[in-house]
Amino acid sequence: MMSFIIYPAIDIRGGKCVRLIQGDYAQETIYHDSPVEAAKAWEAQGGEFIHLVDLDGAKAGHPVNDILIGEIARSVQVPVQVGGGIRTIDDVKHLLQLGVSRLILGTAAIEDRAFTEALLGQYGDKVAIGIDARNGYVATRGWLDTSEVQAEVLAKELAAKGAQTFIFTDISRDGMMQGPNIEAIRSLALASGQSVIASGGVTTQDDLVRLAAYADQGIGGAIVGKALYTGSVDLAQAIQALNAKA
C-alpha cells in the first residue's frame, strides 16, 4: 500500500473552529474556540499534516484569517495546507511567508486559469488544486456558485500543466456523515494520473481503510473534519489501523 495521510480539518470562521453542512454558512456548528489549540491537539494525536480552511476568506475572495493561520503554522511541527480566498500572487507569497507549506486553489483554478498555471509553474508541489463538485460540476466561491466545468476535465487539464495534488470534495457528502463517494474520488485520480486527497463524508475508521485500499490508484489521503470532532473517528486509532495494514 502506498502512502495515505489523514488530514485533520480545521475550518475557521470568525476566529473559531467550525463545521458547515454542505458548505451552508447558515448551518454552522462551533467545535472549538481556539483553532490553534485544535491544531496542537491533532498533532499530539499523531496528525502528520493539518488542513486549514479560511471560510471567511472563501466568501470574501481574499484571506481573512491570515494572522491566525500564521499562528497555527508556528504552533505545530507538522506542515499545514490552507485554502480559502487565495486569488493573487500576493496572497500566495504572504501565506508562504507565514509558514504555510501548501496552498489550495479552488475558485481561482476556474476563474483565472493563467494565474493558476503560472503558480503551478513557479511553486510546483506547494500548490494543490481544490476541486469541489456538485453533481460532477465544479463549485466555486465557497460553494456558493456552480460552474459549467466538469471536475474530471479540469483535473486532466491542470495535471497537464503541472498539478501534482488534487483535493476532491463531493459537496453532497460534506458534513452529512454518509461516507465518502469513493468511486468519484478514484475516478478523478485515474483521470488525472495524480494524487487525490478525499474530502467530505468520512464518517468511520472503516471509510478511511476503504479509501486507503486505493492508495496505489492515486487516493493519497483523506481530510477528516466532523467525524473527528464528534468522536466517530479517533485520529490516533485510525492512524494505527492504517499503519497496521500498510
Catalytic residue numbers read 11, 132
C-alpha cell at 104: 489550495
Q: What are the grid coordinates assigned to 12, written together? A: 475557521
Residue ranges of E strands in 39-79 = 50-54
Ramachandran category for residue 179: left, alpha or beta (phi over 0 → left; psi -120 to 50 → alpha):
left
Q: Which residues of 22-38 are buried (b: 16+ CB within 10 A; e: fewer)?
A: ebebeebeebeeebbeb
Angle, helix 235-245 to helix 205-212, in steps of 10 degrees: 30
At 162 the three-state DSSP class reads coil
